[in-house]
Structure 1
Amino acid sequence: MKNFIKITFILTAVFMFSGCSFDLNKLKESSVGGFLVSDGNENKWVAKNYYDEKANISGVDILTMAVDPINPDVVYLGSKDNGIFVSDDGGNDWDKIMEFLPTKTYGIAINPFESQTIYATGVLGKRGKIFRTDDGGKSWLEIYSEPADGTIVISLAINKTNPQVVFAGTSGGMIIKTSDGGSTWENSYTGKSPITKIVFDEINENVIYFLAFKEGVLTTKNEGNDFEFIKIDDNNKEERKKRENFSPSTIQSIVADPGNEGVAYFGTEKGMFRFSNFGNNIEEVEIIGSSKEFPIYAIAVNPKNSSEIVYAAAQAIYKTTDGGKQWSVFQLDTKKNVSILKYNGGQPSKIYAGLREY
């Protein structure tokens, strides 16, 4: 019975990360979707989906987003069915990177010192692969492939101080690492749950968080030499009270606090939680109560002000500038959910959002 449950779980997870293709030219801008921008101090959002005179990207399901660290007006979107889109003007106009052949793109990572070097995961046929471009997307080199169909690469992250180091996670529960830009790879961890998110600590690059689907958060403090699941001391009554609504299996999103070492925010199916001291302490963030009824798939923290946080639940985006005491709310006219939120690093008053169906 245990083996049957394990196999069923993996197959279900892989199915969730798959999708069917469709013709971009048939897309109609009938509702809010695709890509949104908030530009200014107020929590107001505008759709930015222009592709050409006949088509737009409002119907594209966005799985991942990467913002160029050198020119943050350059934004890359990885989609469920249409590969990678790029905008060089903060989302006003979009182009599809035709040279990138895979249709499904779950992870994109950009070299912070040389932003023409980009890593992206992709699915060709039914096999997961990783690609690298050194010319901004004009040509792509396959640098990793799964040995057989079925397993796909669903998460990707780059070390910001040593961009030769890249971590990737698979739907089969493996974490792999390259230390030479993809020329060679090594197995860092093998588990039983898909690795859906990888997040580096913003201050200490040796600390990395890995979200294991429906299991919890793995962390390493030595860049992948050792791993352990974040656990809370149940014998501490004060800590137990702070986390009474917290369950590791319900975590949906992770973001590291850019201003504080060892601090991260986790979005769950029942609220948001702030982990500090590298996961040894936890407290629930006071968010709008009704939003706790929906999974929090996306969180972002202002890179210049850790008291400013945005998160999304269902069809609403929430923003605080005082660490969570008060929140502004923006309602979206859509049936989709916000899958990812990113700040423009050079202009933090500008925030990007990608939407998808779950």
Structure 2
Amino acid sequence: MIYKTIIILVVGFIALVIVIPLILSAVGIDILSGTRGSAQSGGLLFRSKDGGEHWEPATFVRERRDPTPSYIYDVVAHPVATTTLFAGTKGAGLWKSEDAGMTWRQIKDTAGVMNPRSDIYRVAISKSKPDVMYVAAFQENRGRVFKSTDGGASFRQIYFVGRDKYGVFDIATPPADPDTIMAATGEGRLLVSNDGGERWHFSKVLRDPLARLVLHPGYSNEGYLMTSRGQVLKTYDGGISWTDLGILRQSAAIREGNLRVIEHPYSRLAWFPSRSVYGGARDMLVPDPYQPGVMYRTNKGNLLKSADGGATWARFSTFIDGLGVRVGGIAVHPRNQNTLMVTAGQAVYTSRDLGINWSIVPFDKGSELREVYIHPDTPNVMFVVVGR
């Protein structure tokens, strides 16, 4: 009897100390790490502090039981505290850096509204009232919009979509109006609130999911809306009215039988046409803040340019032609109007003469590069997202 008791105690001890922690760790609950946390680069986000000449992986510091990010959806700089940045992740919520993006730590919502394992697609911070922050999230199988009025310490929900598996994929707030928020959803609806999220109205309703919402950096009333098929709409009056620019990425009509659930933007959940996403990457739409009417756009991995506000587009003849690689992201330098940065394949390309000549910094990471972000106030600081 004594031997049986001893065996039971030994087996129970092994299960408690070894087996159960391993099982919890396998499903993402890390109780094997020390309480001080562990630093992991993971190769998800690379940072340059010298204008793109050299790159190093950013470090994500995980405390015990923190989930591990598997992709970076967005990087946003605080409009006042220039060394503070926020990153939206896949499966690991919202992260914050206070050292210009070198190290990141997960934000713990003190109100308990934002799940630490949610997908955060987009972060929008008011420039005129920087304590006000809006977040587009996918949580509990639905797209949601969260709002913080204390700089990200706590959040409350101000909107959620009406059906499961549909996301809120982009949000924007005008620089001078912290109470106005625009949200683009997988249901094909562009919603606007003018009172900080208390009440909402439809600005535009389309058949296709809305993938991109871009406000012009130089003209706050000018904005662009892109659907999952590549349809582009434009507003000159802050979203009161929209004009279809008549450009579709694919001309064939969508048939109901072609629809399936896929991941968005590079990850998950909205109803998209089965051929609407090229290689797992969503299209970019970038207005040039210096040249009125000039815009850049990625389309099926190609780089396009418009000189008439998006009415017509032409292929931007660059280094990419003939290389067999596709464009992941593009950014216009916030201080130098002649400088463009493009990610293509596994390299970062920089032009300082609007695309005539290019320099290249190759990455040997085994995955294609996606978006490139340039810090608006400290433009020597840049970030590149690595695809999965």
TM-score, normalised on structure 2?
0.75
In 2, Cα distance between the equivalents of 1:275 and 1:23? 48
What is the CA-CA distance between 1:75 and the residue it aligns to? 1.3
Q: Is contact 1:34–1:61 with CA below 8 Å preserved after alignment?
A: yes
Matches of 2:323 and 2:224, distance apart in 1 = 23
SS in 2 for 1:304: coil
Aligned to 1:222, the other structure's residue is in SS state coil
Q: Compute the displacement of 1:162 (Å).
A: 2.2
Conserved 8 A contact 2:51-2:382? no
Corresponding position: 1:203 with 2:218: yes
Asked if residue 177 in structure 1 is aligned to residue 208 in structure 2, the reply is no
Aligned partners of 1:62 and 1:339 also within 8 Å: no
Of residues 141, 154, 171 in structure 2, which corresponds to 1:156?
A: 171
* 2:362 aligned residue (324, 331, 335): 331
Alignment partner for residue 378 of structure 2, among 313, 331, 347?
A: 347
What SS does the corresponding residue of 1:183 show, helix, strand or coil? coil
Aligned-pair Cα RMSD in Å: 2.9
Q: Which residue among 283, 286, 301 is the counterpart of 1:255?
A: 286
Aligned length: 322
Read off the aligned partner of 2:146 and give its amino acid letter: F
Q: 1:113 aligns with which of 128, 151, 160?
A: 128
CA drift at 1:217 = 1.6
* Cα pair 2:40 2:59 within 8 Å, conserved: no
Q: Does 1:85 align with 2:99?
A: no
1:139 aligns with 2:161: no
Q: Say whether the 8 Å CA contact 1:67–1:342 is kept in structure 2.
A: no
**Unaligned stretches of 5+ in structure 1?**
1-20, 233-247
Secondary structure (helix, strand or coil) at the match of 1:51 reads strand
SS in structure 2 of the partner of residue 341 of structure 1:
strand
Q: Tell me, what secondary structure is at the counterpart of 2:309?
A: helix
Q: Partner letter of residue 291 of structure 2?
A: N
Unmatched runs of 5 consecutive residues or more in structure 2: 1-26, 248-275
Match of 2:232 among 217, 228, 251: 217
In the alignment, structure 1 residue 62 sits paired with structure 2 residue 62: no
Q: Which has the higher contact order (CA 8 A, sep 6+)?
A: 1
Asked if structure 2 preserves the Cα contact closer than 8 Å seen for 1:209 and 1:220, the reply is: yes
TM-superposition CA deviations, 1:119-143 (whole Å, max 9, x none): 0011221111100011122110111
| Residue type at the aligned position of 1:297 | G
Q: Does the 8 A contact of 1:32 with 1:334 survive in 2?
A: no
Instruction: Decide which structure has the larger Cα Rg and report it.
Output: 2
1:186 maps to 201
1:45-56 paired onto structure 2 within 5 Å:
45-51=55-61
The answer on whether the counterparts of 1:31 and 1:58 sit within 8 Å (CA) in structure 2 is no
Percent identical residues = 22
Q: How does 1:259-270 map to 2 (within 5 A)?
A: 259-270=290-301
Aligned in 2, Cα 1:192/1:33: closer, same or farther, shift over 3 Å?
A: farther
CA displacement at 1:154 relative to structure 2: 0.9
